[in-house]
Amino acid sequence: MVVVGGGIVGLAVAWELTRRGLDVTVLEKESRWAAHQTGHNSNVVHAGLYYKPGSFKARMSVAGNRSIVDFARQYGVPVEVCGKLVVATHERELPALTTLAERAEANGVPAKQISPAEAREYEPEVACVAALRVESTGIIDFPAVCHALVRLLDEAGVDLRLNSPAVAIRAGSTGGVEVATGDEVVQADALVNCAGLHSDRVARLAGLTPSAKIVPFRGEYYELKPEKRHLVKGLIYPVPDPTLPFLGVHLTRMLDGSVHAGPNAVLALRREGYRWGDFSAKDVAEVATFPGIWRLARKYAFPTGLDEVRRSFSKKRFAASLARLVPAVTADDIVRHGSGVRAQAMRRDGSLVDDFLIETARDQVHVLNAPSPAATSALEIARHIADQVASDS
């Protein structure tokens, strides 16, 4: 087997295939593992309450919440199951909060609706008219999970190759696949594409016409200054807009005691565009000529998209979003921390792919949409893919 992509999903797939007795080669284009989505996310172990009952995301995140925590504890990766609050800050958000509580129950997520006074027992500085307490949410070091997986794979004799981009893929002359990396050609019985931000491009290299295109969205983070960390005890989330795939700006206490705030969501000008100055003419042209982005823009550009861009440039606006949750937070209390880029799959009609998207062809499995909660669900996604490989062999 050859796995393209050395983030948490690719490494988890490689580990699951190895555990089932297959010989695996992992190809990662960067010089280090977990270089992009895995290394730039919020390090939250999601509980699974947001997702449509019965969907891949719902099933895999609920199971993944347990399996990734068990893995971390078994292999010495820092993890803490601390729970979180989802808070309604206005009466108009109460129906959505109730719907979220019902969805949590349907998905088997331990959660209960609580009063403002009960919410302040968890978060003394929070402002809300009601809240949902979710017990199984946690915080973890996902890059450290990857390092543990790399160590296990290395000990198992897996062929781990950094600086090895997949530049061409074709069917082998006697079956299977051949993957050119620039330096050599890797031959395998089958390919699993876990290339994240480039997963649709790898699929096209392999001759597949994917049903969706990756559109990169950058999420920018701030951090509370050390003297203001006491304002947040754990994790505080807003009630999300059900029409959007993003959870909204939230506050997260990390394992080291720091408190991250964010992310917002703006269109990135490069697939790995962590700053406004990161620009790729090729990537921008691909997005600009894709019908889906214009249909999405007509639906969300005003006011939602414009508000996100304004918040990207305005520390004051960003702080105001945080103050909805914790009124004591001001612009003077936050400093920029960094950004991540979400590989969001979009269809030609402008709809955002809501669930994990996995497509197959002969001797190929392509993971074409695996944003959050994919890190939480990585071991479950890996089991699903390994089952697919076993059924096809």
Span 237-280, pLDDT tens digits: 999 876 666 778 999 999 999 999 999 999 999 999 999 999 99
Q: How many CA atoms lie within 13 A of 368 on its CB side?
A: 26
pLDDT reading at 377 higher than 80: yes
Q: Span 42-60, mean pLDDT?
A: 96
pLDDT, tens digit, 9 for 90 and up, residues 336-356? 999 999 999 999 999 999 999
Residue 230 pLDDT level (bands cut at 50, 70, 90):
very high
Average pLDDT, integer, range 121-135:
98
* Residue with token string 């109730």: 98
CA distances from 334 to 25, 103, 118, 251, 349 (A): 43, 33, 27, 11, 38
The yes-or-no verdict on residue 125 having pLDDT over 70 is yes
pLDDT of residue 38: 96
**Which residues fall within 8 angstroms of residue 79, CB to CB, at 6 or more apart?**
45, 68, 69, 72, 73, 138, 139, 140, 141, 255
Average pLDDT of span 303-321: 90
Q: Give the whole-number percent of the chain exceeding pLDDT 70.
A: 98
Q: Of the ranges 104-108, 146-150, 249-253, 298-302, which one carries the lowest mean pLDDT score? A: 298-302
Which tokens go with 123? 């978060």
Q: Which domain holds residue 94?
A: 2-392
Summarize the confidence of residues 283-289 as an average pLDDT: 97
CATH of the domain at 318: 3.50.50.60
Instruction: Please give the tally of structural domains in the chain.
Output: 1
Looking at per-residue pLDDT, the higher value among 304 and 203 belongs to: 203
pLDDT band at 67 (very low <50, low <70, confident <90, very high): very high
Task: Choose the weakest-confidence range: 156-170, 239-253, 327-341, 374-388.
Answer: 239-253
pLDDT(48) > 90: yes
Q: What single letter denotes the amino acid at residue 8? A: I
pLDDT at 301 > cutoff 80 = no
**Average pLDDT over all residues of the chain:** 95
The answer on pLDDT for 151 being more than 80 is: yes
| d(C-alpha 214, C-alpha 199), whole Å | 8
The whole-angstrom separation of Cα 186 and Cα 206 is 14
Per-residue pLDDT at 245: 63
At residue 78, the pLDDT reads 97
pLDDT at 60: 98
61 burial level (CB within 10 Å; 0-12, 13-18, 19+): buried
284: tokens are 């921008």
pLDDT of residue 243: 66
The two tokens of residue 202 are 């790898």
Token output for 6: 């050395």
Tokens of 81: 């199951």
SS3 13: helix
Beta carbons of 326 and 126 less than 8 angstroms apart: yes
Return phi, psi of residue 289, to 5°. Answer: -95, 5
User: Rounded to two decimals, what is the model's pTM?
Assistant: 0.96
CA 307 to CA 304: how far, in whole Å?
5
User: Residue 183: its pLDDT value, please?
Assistant: 85
At 393 the pLDDT is 64
Sign of CA dihedral 317, 215, 50, 136: negative
CA 354-355-357 angle, 5° bins: 120
Q: Between 392 and 215, whose confidence is greater?
A: 215
Identify the pLDDT of residue 266. 93
Question: Where are the extended beta strands (E) located within 152-295?
Answer: 159-161, 168-171, 177-180, 185-188, 191-193, 213-224, 235-238, 250-253, 259-262, 266-267
